[in-house]
């Protein structure tokens, strides 16, 4: 599904080059559930952002579904991202001013999906995550686990091929974490490719494969 | 999608209440001033369009210059014979009419026949019967085609009909004009609707030109040179080419007026002006009927209102960009869930447009409430109805949309350009972008505020300069009582005696014009033994012996007049200068005045006074001659400064004892003088309002900005304090940038304001020069306001315990 080939990303700090990603090679197949582990600052988030095309890299090649991403213009990259990838954040990052329903609906609005289809898709999603009763609440009225459910629902609403999750359970207690992870496993079983960054071995265990990062390089595959 | 934009925008406004409040308050003030000006401008447009032949009706104007080509005066009037000579001469001219304007002041005494109660009635016209073939008046009673044919026929407004005849049918009833010997019986032959729409003609009554007296004089005058006081209108044929007629006007003058003009020693030029242009394109034209507006004035107001709106928009821009970091997270999320830059720009523009519309909505009831105030400010009658014109509402919508777009454009682009990964990673966004623009905009605000403050100072200075100048008489505590009627004139002696017994009355004298009165009556005078064509015009005035003593003008040479003087006159210093007479030889000098008859009349100077400003304040002193008269139009009374109202009561009682049923008309000379400056005062008031608005908006904007900056620099301030900085040094740190911006604003404001105000002052013969300290003062005022706004906030920030600030970082 995607291939990262000799990816380098660095920042210049006082004349010295600090590598965030250092000669990183990664191949992810359709249907995989990949867990990325590593200490803080090892480049997990950077890697996810690069995969999501939210961040640029300085050297190397990136192919997504056969498209050479490194050769594309930003606009086209954004279009590919919007079409294929759902992003889940550690801090949920729901839009505070929107209700649960509206948060889930927003990506569809940006995709100009018509009204009736929006309604049915959001209703399905609410149903699936068992949050129909919460649809008119605002994020601050929900618990962390519930918020993350909404975040996942929002990521899934566009039927993405790939889900990127940056420590999705980092702010949750162990019971909530378990629920989220089981949900991920289920999604993966249904065919969605998932890449998650995590600190937790037990979470990583839900995945089909785990890689370990250190100083921007994969140390263990 | 739009629904969502609106929803999010609305929730965002509710969430950031302080910011929204500052923005809405600012935009409302801006929109309100735009709306106010729009309402006023609208009220001044489309004058005289309702006349059926509006496109074909023209006013004949006259430019009069001396033959040596010096100063040229521009009059709204022409001589009496012009109107019908034009009709005879030009096939294009289908109709012509003349109007003699009897004055805006309460000049004619009228009463229904058989009643004692009389009123001074203003806005009277003396007109040819053709007036109704040229102008459209809706007749409620009577026939407009024949109404003014007969001598002594009068057509009155519906309001006047109600006032004089209550419920009765006024048609064919009689009104009595004047009193005593001059009494004239007038037959009401028509009543017109006084709601005649927007017109430069707003008569209360129209009197037939066929009436004896002034009408007779106008009808019989054949001189094409002098008597330039008749408002002349012509109606051209439907397809006539007015430019062609205009090119034929010099030839017309050559044919009809050449001889008269040569004799008179002046030149004339004629111009035809369409009546629909009169209201907006009559600046600087003398002898107009009523007040007109001025297109340049309207433009200036519109520009001022736009400036206010811009200043308000600047606040919006500055607050939005400064607080961009608050929105950064939202923008990041939206972008990762599929928002494009365009959709975000639309969303933010939506917010600013909504704010602008909220401001527009708020301003509608505000303007409705303020309508009487506005009317007072612009001295026109404005009603709420004017708001429901679609043009006004459409204009308001346009203003709201434009404001929303102008104010929202830059912040929208800035915000929508934020890269999502930055925020999601670090959770913060540097607000340094847009910094330069923000500073430039603050400079702009300072410039507008300082410029306006300076302009107001200059306008007020000019007004005071005019009001305080040495008039050559003392204006305080003089009242002028109108002796408009024969009865009053008959009773002059009795009145004088009666007033003399009132303790509060210091002295009283007679005069045909009271000081400050605007009167253009003048005589052609030449020196005996010299060329009779080398004339000087002199204003003339009939007075009683005690006049100069009463008004407080000093005699320089000779004596005052006595009852027996018939040809003795008192002139002023300017008159001596005009004739090049040596003061010591002036007494006994004769002056010849052109009677227009066979022989001219010799007058003898018996006294010379110091120059005094006998007419309005703005003009320079002209030569005047005063002769003995015991039946004048006015009585000038000097009263003691204490108990003025009591003295007035007593004067009123004396008057009523002697002249029952005749209202006593009086005015204070100093009030009249100020009234003559009403145009300037109005300008001062309007500029003050705009200035206050601009300053309030700048203050609001500064407050918003400094709050933000103080918040942003919390950490820096904390560290500095830990390192030992004291409060003043920190306040200084925060203030320094603003002081620099203020100085740049000041530097830009000086040349612009200087140039503009120099233009304005140039129209005053007696004007102040712009002082450098005006700008120091304006800058100082802005500085103090800024210190208060910025200073209070910074002191608070600087005084906070640094540990608190550092901990929260």
- With bands split at pLDDT 50, 70 and 90, how would you rate the model's confidence at B425? low
User: Which pair of structure tokens corresponds to residue B150?
Assistant: 């007969």
Query: Are the beta carbons of B337 and A45 separated by less than 8 Å?
Result: no
Nearest CA in chain A to B15: A97
Number of structural domains in chain A: 1
User: Which pair of structure tokens corresponds to residue B520?
Assistant: 């253009």
Q: Regarding beta strands A59-64 and A209-214, do their DSSP bridges make them parallel or antiparallel, or are they unpaired? A: unpaired
Closest CA to B80 of B218, B281, B213, B239: B218
B801: helix, coil or strand? coil
| A55 in contact with chain B, both atoms CB, cutoff 8 A | yes
Distance of CA B532 to the CA centre of its chain: 41
Cα separation, B640 vs B661, whole angstroms: 28
CA dihedral A148, A149, A152, A154 (to 10 degrees): -100
Query: Are the beta carbons of B15 and A97 separated by less than 8 Å?
Result: yes
Alpha carbon of B336: minimum distance to chain A alpha carbons (Å)? 7
Residue B389: is its pLDDT beyond 60?
yes
What percent of chain B is predicted at pLDDT more than 70? 94
| pLDDT, position B156 | 94
**CA dihedral for B283, B287, B288, B291, sign (positive or negative):** positive
Cα separation, B616 vs B676, whole angstroms: 7
Name every chain B residue with its beta carbon within 8 A of the beta carbon of A171: none
| pLDDT, position B809 | 39
- With bands split at pLDDT 50, 70 and 90, how would you rate the model's confidence at B245? very high
Query: Are the beta carbons of B334 and A106 separated by less than 8 Å?
Result: yes
Nearest CA in chain A to B425: A45
DSSP state of A137: S
User: Which pair of structure tokens corresponds to residue B383?
Assistant: 């009603």
Query: Are the beta carbons of A89 and B340 separated by less than 8 Å?
Result: no
Name every chain A residue with its beta carbon within 8 A of the beta carbon of B343: 110
| pLDDT, position A45 | 86
> Which residues touch B168 (CB under 8 Å, ≥6 apart)?
none
Query: Are the beta carbons of B339 and A55 separated by less than 8 Å?
Result: no
* A214: enclosing H helix or E strand: strand A209-214
**Nearest-CB residue to A110 (from B11, B332, B343):** B343
Cα separation, B124 vs B203, whole angstroms: 6
**A166 lies in some domain:** yes
Residue B428: is its pLDDT beyond 60?
no
Overall average pLDDT of the B542-552 stretch: 90
Query: Are the beta carbons of B337 and A154 separated by less than 8 Å?
Result: yes
**A8 lies in some domain:** no
pLDDT tens for each residue of A40-61: 888 888 898 889 888 888 999 9
Residue B409: is its pLDDT beyond 50?
yes
Alpha carbon of B18: minimum distance to chain A alpha carbons (Å)? 17
| A82 in contact with chain B, both atoms CB, cutoff 8 A | yes
Query: Are the beta carbons of B334 and A82 separated by less than 8 Å?
Result: no
Cα separation, B529 vs B86, whole angstroms: 39
Q: What is the CATH number of the domain that holds A96?
A: 3.40.50.300
Cα separation, A26 vs A4, whole angstroms: 5
User: Which pair of structure tokens corresponds to residue B41?
Assistant: 């401008």
Cβ atoms within 10 Å, residue B523: 17
Question: Are the beta carbons of B44 and B225 closer than 8 angstroms?
Answer: no
Query: Are the beta carbons of B338 and A155 separated by less than 8 Å?
Result: no
> For residue B513, with 0-12 CB atoms within 10 Å meaning exposed, 13-18 middle and 19 or more buried, which class applies?
buried
B419 or B561: whose pLDDT is higher? B561
Q: A136: domain range?
A: 33-57+73-220
Alpha carbon of B426: minimum distance to chain A alpha carbons (Å)? 11
| pLDDT, position B21 | 86
Cα separation, B637 vs B27, whole angstroms: 53
**Nearest-CB residue to A106 (from B329, B337, B419):** B337
Query: Are the beta carbons of A110 and B420 separated by less than 8 Å?
Result: no
What percent of chain A is predicted at pLDDT more than 90? 41
Query: Are the beta carbons of A95 and B338 separated by less than 8 Å?
Result: no
Overall average pLDDT of the B671-678 stretch: 80
Interface test with B, best of A45, A96, A101 (most B CBs within 10 A): A96
Overall average pLDDT of the B297-311 stretch: 88
Distances B483 to B509, B561, B633, B636, B664 between C-alpha atoms, Å: 12, 21, 5, 10, 8
Name every chain B residue with its beta carbon within 8 A of the beta carbon of A89: 424
pLDDT tens for each residue of B702-736: 888 887 777 777 777 777 777 777 778 778 877 88
For B558, left (φ over 0), alpha (ψ -120 to 50), or beta?
left
Residue B566: is its pLDDT beyond 50?
yes
Overall average pLDDT of the B186-200 stretch: 91
Distances B322 to B347, B411, B446 between C-alpha atoms, Å: 18, 9, 18
Alpha carbon of B340: minimum distance to chain A alpha carbons (Å)? 8
- With bands split at pLDDT 50, 70 and 90, how would you rate the model's confidence at B71? low
Overall average pLDDT of the B629-635 stretch: 88
| A80 in contact with chain B, both atoms CB, cutoff 8 A | no
| pLDDT, position B596 | 67
Name which of B178-187, B263-272, B395-404 the model is least confident about: B178-187
Residue B328: is its pLDDT beyond 50?
yes
Query: Are the beta carbons of A87 and B336 separated by less than 8 Å?
Result: yes
Cα separation, B778 vs B454, whole angstroms: 5
Describe the strand order of the beta sheet including A16-28 as a list of residue ranges: A16-28, A2-13, A59-64, A67-68
Nearest CA in chain A to B336: A87
| pLDDT, position B543 | 92
Alpha carbon of A214: minimum distance to chain B alpha carbons (Å)? 19
What percent of chain B is predicted at pLDDT more than 90? 32
Query: Are the beta carbons of A97 and B334 separated by less than 8 Å?
Result: no
| pLDDT, position B805 | 60
| pLDDT, position B806 | 60
Q: Tell me the pLDDT of chain B averaged across its residues.
A: 86
- With bands split at pLDDT 50, 70 and 90, how would you rate the model's confidence at B105? low
pLDDT tens for each residue of B479-527: 999 887 777 888 888 888 888 888 889 999 999 888 888 766 678 888 8
Residue B749: is its pLDDT beyond 80?
yes
Cβ atoms within 10 Å, residue B12: 20
| A155 in contact with chain B, both atoms CB, cutoff 8 A | yes
**Nearest-CB residue to A97 (from B1, B12, B424):** B12
Query: Are the beta carbons of A109 and B424 separated by less than 8 Å?
Result: no
Cα separation, B610 vs B618, whole angstroms: 18
Query: Are the beta carbons of B340 and A155 separated by less than 8 Å?
Result: no
End-to-end C-alpha distance for chain B, whole angstroms: 38
Nearest CA in chain A to B422: A55
Question: Are the beta carbons of B189 and B125 closer than 8 angstroms?
Answer: no
Alpha carbon of B326: minimum distance to chain A alpha carbons (Å)? 12
Name every chain B residue with its beta carbon within 8 A of the beta carbon of A102: 4, 7
> For residue B666, with 0-12 CB atoms within 10 Å meaning exposed, 13-18 middle and 19 or more buried, which class applies?
middle
**A121 lies in some domain:** yes
**Nearest-CB residue to B421 (from A49, A93, A102):** A49
Name every chain B residue with its beta carbon within 8 A of the beta carbon of A115: none
Q: Regarding beta strands B108-112 and B174-177, do their DSSP bridges make them parallel or antiparallel, or are they unpaired? A: antiparallel
User: Which pair of structure tokens corresponds to residue B294?
Assistant: 């001025």
| pLDDT, position B284 | 78
Overall average pLDDT of the B432-455 stretch: 84
**A112 lies in some domain:** yes
Interface test with A, best of B3, B418, B419, B424 (most A CBs within 10 A): B424
Query: Are the beta carbons of A87 and B337 separated by less than 8 Å?
Result: yes
Alpha carbon of B337: minimum distance to chain A alpha carbons (Å)? 5
Name, of B87-101, B486-500, B652-666, the range with top average pLDDT.
B87-101
B809 or B602: whose pLDDT is higher? B602
B683 or B209: whose pLDDT is higher? B209
Query: Are the beta carbons of A95 and B336 separated by less than 8 Å?
Result: no
User: Which pair of structure tokens corresponds to residue B235?
Assistant: 């109606």
Closest CA to B463 of B779, B761, B671, B755: B761
| pLDDT, position B219 | 92
pLDDT tens for each residue of A190-204: 889 999 999 888 899
Which residues between 14 and 53 in chain A have a beta carbon less than 8 angstroms from any beta carbon of chain B?
45, 49, 52
Question: Are the beta carbons of B192 and B45 closer than 8 angstroms?
Answer: no
Query: Are the beta carbons of B339 and A110 separated by less than 8 Å?
Result: yes
Residue B597: is its pLDDT beyond 80?
no
Residue B764: is its pLDDT beyond 90?
no
Closest CA to B24 of B301, B351, B393, B307: B351
Name every chain A residue with its beta carbon within 8 A of the beta carbon of B333: 93-95
Residue B598: is its pLDDT beyond 50?
yes
Interface test with A, best of B338, B341, B351, B417 (most A CBs within 10 A): B338
Name every chain A residue with its beta carbon within 8 A of the beta carbon of B332: 93
Name which of A1-10, A69-78, A146-155, B10-19 the model is least confident about: B10-19
Interface test with B, best of A11, A20, A48, A55 (most B CBs within 10 A): A55
Cα separation, B351 vs B19, whole angstroms: 13
| A73 in contact with chain B, both atoms CB, cutoff 8 A | no
Query: Are the beta carbons of B337 and A107 separated by less than 8 Å?
Result: yes
Cβ atoms within 10 Å, residue B647: 22
Cα separation, B430 vs B432, whole angstroms: 5
Overall average pLDDT of the B236-262 stretch: 92
Q: Regarding beta strands B624-628 and B536-543, do their DSSP bridges make them parallel or antiparallel, or are they unpaired? A: parallel
Alpha carbon of A112: minimum distance to chain B alpha carbons (Å)? 8
Query: Are the beta carbons of B424 and A54 separated by less than 8 Å?
Result: yes
Overall average pLDDT of the B761-775 stretch: 87
Overall average pLDDT of the B655-681 stretch: 82
B9 or B392: whose pLDDT is higher? B392
Name which of B25-29, B67-71, B297-301 the model is least confident about: B67-71
| pLDDT, position B808 | 47
Cα separation, B572 vs B579, whole angstroms: 11
ipTM of the assembly? 0.82
Residue B218: is its pLDDT beyond 60?
yes
Interface test with A, best of B16, B337, B418 (most A CBs within 10 A): B337
């Amino acid at each position: 599904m995607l291939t990262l080939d000799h990816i380098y990303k660095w920042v210049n700090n006082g004349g010295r080059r600090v590598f965030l990603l250092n000669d990183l090679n990664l191949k992810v197949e359709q249907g995989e559930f990949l867990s990325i582990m590593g200490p803080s600052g090892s480049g997990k988030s950077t890697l996810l952002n690069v995969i999501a095309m939210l961040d640029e890299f300085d050297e190397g090649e990136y192919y997504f579904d056969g498209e050479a991403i490194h050769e594309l213009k930003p606009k086209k990259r954004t279009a590919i991202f919007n079409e294929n990838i759902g992003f889940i954040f550690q801090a949920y990052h729901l839009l505070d001013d929107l209700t649960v329903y509206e948060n889930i609906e927003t990506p569809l609005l940006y995709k100009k999906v018509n009204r009736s289809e929006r309604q049915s898709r959001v209703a399905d999603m609410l149903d699936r995550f068992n949050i129909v009763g919460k649809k008119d609440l605002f994020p601050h009225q929900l618990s962390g686990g519930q918020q993350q459910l909404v975040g996942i629902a929002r990521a899934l609403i566009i039927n993405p091929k790939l889900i990127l999750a940056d420590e999705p359970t980092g702010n949750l207690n162990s019971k909530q974490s378990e629920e989220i992870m089981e949900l991920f496993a289920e999604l993966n079983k249904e065919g969605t490719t998932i890449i998650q960054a995590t600190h937790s071995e037990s979470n990583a265990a839900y995945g089909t494969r785990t890689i370990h990062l250190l100083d921007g390089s994969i140390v263990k595959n | 999608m739009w629904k969502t934009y609106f929803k999010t925008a609305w929730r965002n406004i509710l969430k950031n209440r302080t910011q929204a409040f500052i923005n809405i308050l600012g935009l409302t003030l801006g929109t309100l001033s735009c709306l106010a000006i729009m309402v006023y401008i609208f009220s001044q447009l489309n004058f005289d369009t309702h006349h059926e032949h509006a496109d074909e009706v023209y006013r004949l104007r006259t430019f009069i210059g001396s033959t040596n080509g010096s100063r040229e005066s521009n009059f709204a009037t022409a001589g009496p014979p012009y109107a019908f000579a034009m009709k005879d001469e030009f096939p294009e001219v289908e109709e012509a009419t003349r109007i003699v304007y009897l004055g805006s002041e309460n000049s004619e005494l009228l009463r229904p026949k058989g009643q004692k109660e009389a009123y001074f009635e203003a806005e009277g016209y003396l007109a040819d019967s053709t007036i109704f073939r040229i102008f459209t008046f809706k007749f409620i009673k009577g026939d407009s085609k024949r109404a003014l044919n007969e001598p002594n026929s009068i057509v009155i407004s519906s309001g006047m009909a109600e006032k004089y005849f209550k419920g009765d049918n006024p048609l064919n009833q009689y009104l009595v004009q004047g009193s005593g010997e001059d009494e004239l019986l007038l037959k009401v032959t028509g009543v017109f609707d006084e709601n005649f729409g927007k017109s430069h003609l707003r008569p209360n009554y129209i009197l037939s030109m066929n009436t004896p007296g002034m009408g007779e004089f106008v009808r019989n005058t054949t001189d094409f040179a002098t008597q330039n006081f008749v408002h002349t209108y012509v109606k051209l044929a439907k397809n006539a080419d007015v430019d062609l007629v205009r090119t034929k006007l010099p030839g017309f003058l050559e044919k009809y007026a050449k001889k008269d003009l040569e004799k008179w020693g002046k030149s004339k030029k004629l111009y035809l002006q369409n009546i629909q242009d009169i209201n907006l394109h009559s600046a600087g034209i003398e002898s107009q009927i009523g007040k007109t507006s001025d297109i340049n004035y309207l433009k200036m107001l519109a520009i001022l209102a736009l400036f206010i709106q811009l200043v308000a928009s600047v606040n919006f821009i500055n607050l939005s960009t400064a607080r961009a970091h608050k929105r950064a997270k939202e923008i990041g999320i939206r972008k990762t869930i599929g928002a494009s830059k365009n959709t975000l720009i639309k969303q933010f523009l939506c917010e600013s447009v909504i704010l602008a519309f909220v401001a527009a909505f708020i301003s509608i009831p505000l303007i409705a409430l303020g309508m009487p105030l506005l009317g007072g400010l612009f001295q026109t009658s404005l009603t709420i109805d004017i708001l429901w014109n679609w043009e006004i509402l459409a204009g308001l919508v346009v203003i709201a949309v434009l404001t929303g777009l102008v104010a929202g454009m830059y912040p929208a682009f800035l915000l929508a350009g934020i890269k999502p990964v930055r925020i999601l990673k670090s959770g913060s966004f540097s607000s340094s972008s847009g910094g330069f623009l923000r500073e430039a905009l603050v400079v702009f605000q300072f410039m507008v505020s300082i410029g306006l403050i300076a302009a107001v100072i200059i306008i007020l200075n000019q007004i005071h300069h005019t009001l305080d100048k040495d008039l050559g008489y003392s204006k305080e505590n003089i009242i002028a009582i109108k002796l408009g009627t024969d009865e009053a004139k008959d009773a002059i002696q009795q009145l004088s005696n009666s007033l003399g017994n009132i303790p509060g009355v210091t002295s009283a004298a007679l005069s045909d014009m009271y000081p400050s009165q605007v009167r253009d009556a003048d005589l052609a005078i030449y020196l005996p033994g010299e060329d009779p064509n080398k004339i000087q015009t002199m204003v003339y005035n009939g007075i009683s012996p005690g006049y100069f003593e009463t008004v407080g003008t000093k005699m320089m040479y000779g004596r005052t007049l006595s009852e027996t003087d018939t040809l003795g006159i008192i002139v002023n210093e300017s008159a001596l200068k005009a004739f090049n007479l040596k003061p010591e030889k002036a007494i006994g000098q004769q002056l010849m005045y052109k009677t227009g008859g066979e022989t001219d009349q010799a007058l003898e100077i018996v006294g010379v006074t110091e120059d005094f400003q006998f007419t309005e304040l703005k003009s320079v002193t002209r030569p005047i001659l005063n002769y003995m008269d015991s039946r004048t139009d006015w009585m000038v009374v000097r009263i003691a400064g204490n108990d003025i109202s009591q003295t007035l009561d007593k004067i009123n009682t004396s008057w009523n004892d002697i002249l029952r049923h005749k209202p006593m008309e009086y005015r204070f000379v100093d009030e009249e003088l100020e009234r003559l400056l009403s145009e300037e005062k109005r300008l001062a008031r309007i500029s003050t309002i705009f200035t206050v608005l601009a300053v309030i908006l700048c203050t609001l904007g500064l407050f918003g900005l400094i709050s933000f900056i103080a918040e942003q620099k919390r950490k820096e301030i904390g560290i500095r304090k830990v390192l030992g900085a004291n409060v003043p040094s920190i306040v200084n740190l925060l203030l320094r940038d603003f002081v620099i911006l203020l100085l740049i604003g000041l530097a830009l404001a000086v040349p612009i304001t200087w140039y503009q105000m120099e233009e304005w002052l140039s129209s005053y013969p007696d004007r102040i020069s712009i002082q450098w300290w005006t700008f120091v003062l304006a800058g100082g005022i802005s500085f103090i306001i800024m210190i208060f706004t910025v200073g209070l906030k910074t002191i608070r920030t600087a005084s906070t315990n640094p540990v608190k600030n550092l901990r929260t970082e």
